[in-house]
């Protein structure tokens, strides 16, 4: 998008050198009232890329909302180069109900992209969002949290076989990148297939703001802006260590084999060694105890927060680290424990 180009969407335009806050209609309620999503477009007079930041395609995932809002409304964007499209709440019906899915047949908005104007309610909403505010962009970042009852350390999910996506993922500067193409209908997958390199940032848990993770994600956005020269020169961050988890790496969701009450012994982001007790499951009388041990030495990317499980429910997400990274993580966690 050049300095003489307006950002155009169905029903309006944002001229160079201006910004616009709008509530954009993507559907209607049972009463025929419009369902509107909040959108902020900042269009610089200086030529540069067009980037989107999106959050809350799952309505109860709140951390990303605050990241997008702070970039849009608290950052000084007077030196912006290019165009910034901020979409803090994609799933407005889910956000209002404080639930993950659209409260319209429980459809998943983040399995409905790029959408279709003549299809289901979810795909019609997705099409309005995608066609107007994703398709005009050059790249994007989509913010998520774990589902309710679980939490994730901050990490990036990206298709690292795509060089443009890999550049974006590395620029964000997280310790962990999980390499995957992603399933059909995901915003990041469908945008990338449409030539708009996009990554997902996973951070924390649903139903809350977690300030430390929000600040870390904001630093990641600032690093991306530096990589693509969207603002005055600043430094692309190096997180101190990084691991990229491919399909060839060892990683697993460890699941409960029995129902019960869970006592989790480690937090997300913790390094555990093979044989370490990750958690303990007990019955209501504490008469039957089941110890869950790490099958290999690795990093806990995600752990259970809600301490009750049925058989088969996930307890934690464990990833393998190579020897060099593992030694760095050991030193870092030992220093943090003694400081």
Q: What is the mean pLDDT of residues 202-226?
A: 97
Look at residue 314 in the predicted model and tell me its pLDDT. Answer: 95
pTM, 2 dp: 0.95
Q: How confident is the model at residue 178 (pLDDT cuts 50, 70, 90)?
A: very high
3-state SS record for the chain: CCCCCCEEECCEEECCCEEEEEEEEEEECCCCCEEEEEEEEEECCCCCCEEEEEECCCCCCCHHHHHHHHHHHCCCCCCCCCEEEEECCCCHHHHHHCCCCECCCCECHHHCCCCCCCCCHHHHHHHHHHHHHHCCCCEEEEEECCCCCEEEEEEEEECCCCHHHHHHHHHHCCCEEEECCCCCCCHHHHHHHCCCCEEEEEEECCCCCCHHHHHHHHHHHHHHHHHCCCCCCCCCCCCCCCEEECCCCCEEEEECCCCEEEEECCCCCCEECCCCEEEEEECCCCCCEEEEECCCCEEEEEEECCCEECCCCEEEEEEECCHHHHHHHHHHHHHHHHC
Look at residue 1 in the predicted model and tell me its pLDDT. Answer: 47
CA distance 83 to 78: 12
Burial of residue 130 (number of CB atoms within 10 Å: 0-12, 13-18, 19+): buried
Q: Any idea of the CA torsion for 110, 116, 118, 119, to the nearest 10 degrees? A: -30
Q: Is the pLDDT of residue 313 over 90?
A: yes
Q: What is the mean pLDDT of residues 176-196?
A: 96
CA distance 9 to 129: 10
Q: Is the pLDDT of residue 248 over 80?
A: no
Q: How confident is the model at residue 4 (pLDDT cuts 50, 70, 90)?
A: low
Cα 307 from chain centroid?
A: 24
Q: Is the pLDDT of residue 299 over 50?
A: yes
Look at residue 104 in the predicted model and tell me its pLDDT. Answer: 85
Q: Any idea of the CA torsion for 223, 75, 73, 240, to the nearest 10 degrees? A: 30
Q: Which residues contact 192 (CB under 8 A, 6 or more apart)?
A: 159, 162, 165, 182, 198
Structure tokens at 222: 């600032």
Please check whether residue 290 is in contact with residue 260, taking contact to mean a CB–CB distance below 8 angstroms: yes
């Amino acid at each position: 998008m050049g300095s003489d180009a307006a950002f155009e969407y169905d029903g309006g335009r944002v001229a160079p050198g201006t910004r616009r806050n709008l509530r954009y209609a993507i559907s209607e309620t049972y009463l025929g009232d419009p369902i509107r999503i909040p959108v902020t477009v900042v269009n610089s007079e200086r030529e540069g890329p067009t980037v989107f930041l999106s959050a809350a395609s799952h309505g109860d995932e709140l951390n990303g909302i605050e990241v997008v809002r702070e970039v849009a409304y608290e950052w000084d964007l007077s030196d912006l180069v290019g165009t910034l499209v901020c979409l803090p709440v994609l799933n407005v019906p889910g956000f209002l109900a404080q639930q993950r899915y659209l409260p319209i047949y429980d459809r998943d908005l983040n399995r409905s992209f790029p959408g279709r104007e003549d299809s289901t309610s979810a795909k019609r909403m997705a099409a309005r969002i995608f066609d107007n505010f994703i398709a005009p962009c050059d790249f994007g970042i989509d913010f998520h949290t774990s589902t309710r009852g679980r939490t994730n350390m901050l990490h990036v999910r990206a298709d690292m076989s795509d060089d443009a996506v890999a550049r974006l993922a590395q620029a964000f500067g997280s310790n962990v990148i999980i390499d995957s193409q992603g399933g059909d209908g995901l915003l990041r997958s469908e945008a990338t297939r449409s030539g708009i390199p996009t990554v997902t940032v996973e951070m924390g848990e649903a139903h809350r703001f977690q300030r430390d993770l929000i600040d870390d994600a904001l630093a990641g956005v600032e690093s991306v802006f530096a990589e693509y020269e969207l603002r005055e020169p600043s430094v692309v961050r190096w997180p101190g260590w990084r691991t990229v988890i491919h399909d060839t790496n060892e990683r697993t969701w460890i699941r409960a084999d029995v129902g019960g009450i869970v006592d989790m012994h480690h937090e997300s982001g913790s390094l555990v060694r093979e044989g370490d007790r990750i958690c303990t499951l007990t019955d209501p009388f504490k008469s039957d105890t089941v110890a869950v041990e790490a099958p290999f030495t690795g990093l806990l990317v995600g752990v259970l927060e809600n301490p009750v499980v049925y058989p088969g429910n996930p307890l934690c997400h464990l990833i393998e680290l190579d020897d060099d990274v593992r030694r760095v993580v050991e030193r870092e966690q030992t220093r943090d424990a003694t400081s």
